[in-house]
Structure 1
């Protein structure tokens, strides 16, 4: 049985311009984007080259993501290293005046400054990125790389047992040396291998720094030594002050040199990251150009097609307008 719904397509006026307008929309999009809307038509249904280019671009994106993460990691380490150097300089600046002949109050004051600096250094090397300790080779355990409470307790014990400045300095050197108490009692058991960022193609990038590195140990040693002076097992008299004022500035200079050397090494890795990113950017631009060329639409041909469809659409509208003005008697003539 026929009803209004089934008869609608038969009795309703036909939209003769629908197909033309649809083609015009597609062509306008192609003209704006510079690409064929139908990729299969552009590639003659041969997707092999296009697929290889797309895969290469995805690989480039993955490598660029890894490099970006490595760059962020390196920036965090560099910032922390700069903080450690700045903290050490704060202690060193007051060292000379604290060791001139005079009362013990000056030594107590510089020791208090050094004690606060130890805490600040511990905060700097305890920094985490994405839940991983940057100075513990990416350890996700949550343990601090350095047990600062154990460090303070054990270095105070070293100072208390020393009978003169030479013995104090030697005790600290032994404690922070390879295999010493710092390694066995204070340094956390973080992974031995450095943090590595795989870049694909058999390449990777490692971050060559950790809390156990000598440059960081020396910074901790210098600061802890100064912080422990009020607890020394000997009197800090003029003779002791003279020896300390000769030895400690030299050691402070060595600490700065070690930190700068580590930062320079990190800077070299950052330069590699920058070069990799530049290379990837160049390669990506070439791949994008090849991809665009494969599916690119000639703008002149597309514009000509747009013009042709516009002419066809105007003709349809013109014919429709003339028909709309005709009366039934005109058709019956």
Structure 2
């Protein structure tokens, strides 16, 4: 009878190869047990990975929407903060202007104009607010400020109303300058005529935050505040009574502008609510997709642990056989 066997070198090679195979299998099972997911995706899905690819594609898309939603939320919150600041400023100034006493003298009236000038500067500064490096009130021109310097605007306005000597004419001239495209929009507004592009926060879901410093609500705020600031201008030569009338008129118009501002705040609040709603919906969908992906790739922990224990036993047995074979020798055999 013929017998066949392996030489020592071949036997050693086979043992090493078997040891490497068992170690690789044990590493795979350890990884699956730790992560809870199978490592051989194609084997589990029988080669049909299109469904998994679709799930992962949707998850990546939702991740992109998450970034866009975060940007939209930050932009809208910054805009709302700016509107709140303008509302507070307009409320404080209008109250001071409308409560001016008929017996108020020049210095008191002059101080009200000084206060209005400071509020005008604050208003211009607020309209030049930016969020993450993007101007909020400059429309599509997010890389530039919405308005020029406050003092430069007042200087241009003074030149536009020069020669008017009564309250009615001065108020009309100021209104005309702010409404005339060759006036405010040309000399003061430095933003774009088009709105910033809507934020794409979901599939077929866009949120528009269209706030530009040349819109009527902001022009009216600026106009009313500027009117009060110019009341004490020496070049107009107004008497105390006329100055007082101009300040009260400015206060009344500021109240109307403040009402428009409240409506603008409400509209922006609706946009913020929509952003939050879409964000919540996207998050719920992403969670559902993650669960679906996990269900496809989930490894049975009991089965994995059983296989791992079997591989460990085989590896220990291999080590035992290897150790015993290394002790074999002809001398020990013939004793």
Tell me the TM-score range normalised by the shorter chain. 0.7 to 0.9
Query: Paired residue for 1:237?
Result: 240
CA distance in structure 2 between the aligned counterparts of 1:65 and 1:87, rounded to whole angstroms: 33
SS in 2 for 1:198: strand
1:45 Cα deviation after fit: 1.6
**Is 1:71–1:273's contact at 8 Å kept on the other side of the alignment?**
yes
Query: Paired residue for 2:53?
Result: 51
- 2:224 is aligned with 1:222: yes
CA distance in structure 1 between the aligned counterparts of 2:334 and 2:20, rounded to whole angstroms: 29
**Is 2:232–2:238's contact at 8 Å kept on the other side of the alignment?**
no
SS in 1 for 2:80: helix
- Within the candidate set 286, 289, 292, 1:284 is matched to 286
Query: Paired residue for 2:84?
Result: 82
Query: Paired residue for 2:71?
Result: 69
- Larger deviation: 67-76 or 125-134? 125-134
Query: Paired residue for 1:177?
Result: 179
CA spacing shift, 1:319–1:99, aligned 2, 3 Å: farther
Query: Paired residue for 1:60?
Result: 62
1:10 Cα deviation after fit: 8.3
Report Cα offsets for 1:101-137 as digits up to 9, x if no partner: 2332122222222222222222221223454322111
Report Cα offsets for 1:258-295 as digits up to 9, x if no partner: 22211111111111111111111111111112212222
**Is 1:127–1:133's contact at 8 Å kept on the other side of the alignment?**
yes
Q: CA RMSD in A?
A: 3.0
Contiguous gaps of at least 5 residues in structure 1: 1-6
**Is 1:67–1:277's contact at 8 Å kept on the other side of the alignment?**
yes
Query: Paired residue for 1:313?
Result: 315
Once the two structures are superposed, the pairs formed by residues 164-313 of structure 1 within 5 Å of their partners are: 164-177=166-179, 179=181, 181-188=183-190, 190-199=192-201, 201-231=203-233, 233-238=236-241, 240-241=243-244, 243-244=245-246, 246-313=248-315
Q: What is the number of residues matched between the two proteins?
A: 326
**Is 2:29–2:307's contact at 8 Å kept on the other side of the alignment?**
yes
**Is 1:36–1:296's contact at 8 Å kept on the other side of the alignment?**
yes
CA spacing shift, 1:107–1:210, aligned 2, 3 Å: same
**Is 1:145–1:188's contact at 8 Å kept on the other side of the alignment?**
yes
**Is 2:62–2:286's contact at 8 Å kept on the other side of the alignment?**
yes
1:320 Cα deviation after fit: 4.4
Contiguous gaps of at least 5 residues in structure 2: 1-7
Given the two structures, how large is their TM-score scaled by the length of structure 1?
A: 0.85
**Is 1:145–1:190's contact at 8 Å kept on the other side of the alignment?**
no
**Is 1:128–1:134's contact at 8 Å kept on the other side of the alignment?**
yes
CA distance in structure 2 between the aligned counterparts of 1:320 and 1:192, rounded to whole angstroms: 80
CA spacing shift, 1:191–1:304, aligned 2, 3 Å: farther
SS in 2 for 1:161: coil
- Larger deviation: 275-284 or 70-79? 70-79
CA distance in structure 1 between the aligned counterparts of 2:197 and 2:163, rounded to whole angstroms: 39
**Is 1:139–1:190's contact at 8 Å kept on the other side of the alignment?**
yes
SS in 1 for 2:120: helix
1:160 Cα deviation after fit: 4.5
CA spacing shift, 1:331–1:126, aligned 2, 3 Å: farther
